[in-house]
Chains A and B, each alone.
Chain A
Amino acid sequence: MTQLDRRFLLKAMGLGTASLALPTPAFARAKARIVIIGGGFGGASAAQTLATVLPSSNITLIDANATYTACPFSNLVLGTDRALSAQQFGYDGLRRLGVTVLNTLALDVDPVAQTVTVSDAETIGYDRLILSPGIDMRWNALEGYDEAAAQIFPHAWKAGPQTLLLRQKLDALEDGQPVIMSVPTAPFRCPPGPYERASMIAHYLKTRKPRSKLIVLDAKDSFSKKALFQEAWDEHYPDHLEWRGASDDGTVSRVDAATETIETDFESFDASVINIIPPQKAGSIADRAGVSDGTGWCPIDPLAFESTQQANIHVIGDATIAAPMPKSAFSANLQAKVCAMGVARLVSGLEPQATILSNTCYSFTTPDEAISIAGVYSNENNILMSVSEAGGVSSLSAVKSIRNQEADQARSWFETITSETFG
């Protein structure tokens, strides 16, 4: 009996969709159709895990790009001689595990018919859909910042061509000219990311354009690992980095690509290199699937990361509302694996189970020194919360060897998580 037949039978019996959530041994006989949209740290990890724990299922991964360009470590492409190719990963490893990888844009999701539209002529049916769409920019949420403006003021907040564009602008910078960065209010992808980037750009200026300086205009007064970053900046970049918070007129209120100027409440800046990190939202397919809410992000039940708004659709990674877990590659990878195990259980008539999750994020302050933040979380009773005794940031005033060790650990982490995710 196919799942469709079964659903028809249940419908004929007068049962609503809620009944489908009951443990149903017969479900396991059908070859579960699982579709994953988004092939980053979330989606690719979900595919890997499902291929392992549920090899009998039919797994399809949809991503517009044949090559994924990773964001972690992309700030080192901006500030050091790290090549963008070191950030890039393909999907052959997933294909070897039997995952069907479609390099096409997922155009639409019909949560009632349980189909994904990939072209005018083709839809793909699913029993469970896992959305890992990452972020999209909220164009014009910052006045004047639209897709065209992003070619003048690169965001580089999705790694790839935007990363190279920002690097080219830095390379073309005349020594002595300022560089400006604008940082939005939370939530956004990678909470410590702007400050690692500031460190890497300051390093670039210190070593290659020593008369230039980076000015960070921030719409907030506090940020992730602030004391640690400021300690590093005082030590390494006293002449190359200036940070201004919201209460020091740091909030950028308007940008003008035509005149290449940006404005705060009281001041106007023009510079040949302006990096705007804009306000963000869940990747737009989340809106079409009906899983995002008024905040632009996606509420989930953290046990199996199923949407609270649409049955049989799960959402993982940066697109989710999963605080206190941050929007990080580590979180996306782990949420994907927890979600995949939950999905494997659900399609097999088993309930998802609670577990302990964690996160670790390293940030480089110089090319060979890093600081970290870690957290441990429980999803017991379907509530995601921090385990209070655990987690925290690196120590202030640590000796250089501690920072060097964390930089080594960061590089080891990147090797491990990318090989675990992409095979």
Chain B
Amino acid sequence: MSKSHSLGAALLLAFLGLAACGGSVTDHDDVKNTSIAQLTNRSASLALACAGCHSETSTAVVSLKGYGAEALRDSLLRYRAETDGITVMHRLARGYSDDDIELLANYFDQDKGER
């Protein structure tokens, strides 16, 4: 690293430090950034794919409204496990890990989910 680059990096760090300590990043900004981190977390980003077909009013494609986490988890795990299943949902469920199914089930939970 050249001298000027290290100097630049040091200046940047100093600037960021100043910005953080000097009160120019307000509590409001912290709240906002926390909220953006949460709104775009893995659960929320996994759920984006589901929303292409499932809405609160969809019919031929089941609405996820009113389901609890347990029912959603069981349903997704069953789709994934049925090796002779031929529906679109069987084909999609095979692409999701246990962890991701858990995140999705909780995300869409009717009571405590984020959606």
Q: Within the complex, what minimum Cβ distance (angstroms) separates A410 from chain B? A: 8
Q: How far is the CA of A349 from the CA of B51 in the complex (A)?
A: 27
Q: How far is the CA of A416 from the CA of B48 in the complex (A)?
A: 13
Interface size, chain B (Cβ < 8 Å): 47
| A228 adjacent to chain B (CB < 8 Å) | no
| B78 adjacent to chain A (CB < 8 Å) | no
| B71 adjacent to chain A (CB < 8 Å) | no
Partner of B36, one of A14, A338, A350, A417: A350
Within 8 A of B (CB), among A366-423: 372, 374, 376-377, 387, 389-392, 394-395, 398, 402, 405-406, 408-409, 411-413, 415-417, 419-420
Q: Which residues of A contact B19 (CB under 8 A)?
A: 25-26
The B contact surface, by secondary structure, is: helix
Q: How far is the CA of A181 from the CA of B115 in the complex (A)?
A: 46
Instruction: Assess A25 versus B91: contact at CB under 8 Å? Given A334-B49, A360-B52.
Output: no
Q: How far is the CA of A54 from the CA of B42 in the complex (A)?
A: 17
Instruction: Assess A28 versus B60: contact at CB under 8 Å? Given A353-B40, A356-B95.
Output: no
Q: How far is the CA of A337 from the CA of B60 in the complex (A)?
A: 24
Q: Which residues of B contact A15 (CB under 8 A)?
A: 8-9, 12
| A107 adjacent to chain B (CB < 8 Å) | no
Q: Which residues of B contact A28 (CB under 8 A)?
A: 25, 29, 32-33, 36
Query: Contact between A19 and B12 (Cβ–Cβ < 8 Å)?
Result: yes
| A206 adjacent to chain B (CB < 8 Å) | no
23 contacts between A and B (CB under 8 A): A10-B12, A24-B16, A26-B16, A330-B52, A344-B40, A350-B40, A353-B41, A353-B42, A353-B45, A356-B46, A358-B52, A360-B52, A360-B53, A374-B91, A376-B94, A390-B95, A391-B94, A392-B91, A409-B88, A412-B60, A413-B52, A415-B55, A416-B57
Assuming A25-B29, A355-B46, what are 18 further A-B pairs, CB within 8 angstroms? A1-B24, A19-B8, A24-B16, A52-B39, A56-B32, A342-B40, A345-B40, A350-B36, A353-B42, A356-B46, A356-B49, A356-B96, A358-B52, A358-B92, A391-B92, A395-B86, A406-B88, A412-B58
> Which residues of B does A touch, CB under 8 Å?
4-5, 7-9, 11-12, 15-16, 19-20, 24-26, 29, 32-33, 36-37, 39-42, 44-46, 48-49, 51-55, 57-61, 86, 88, 91-96, 100
The 7 closest A-B pairs by CB, nearest first: A376-B95, A390-B95, A408-B60, A387-B95, A412-B60, A390-B94, A355-B45
> Which residues of A does B touch, CB under 8 Å?
1, 9-10, 13-15, 19, 22, 24-26, 28-29, 49, 52-54, 56, 330, 333-334, 337-338, 341-342, 344-345, 348-350, 353, 355-358, 360, 372, 374, 376-377, 387, 389-392, 394-395, 398, 402, 405-406, 408-409, 411-413, 415-417, 419-420
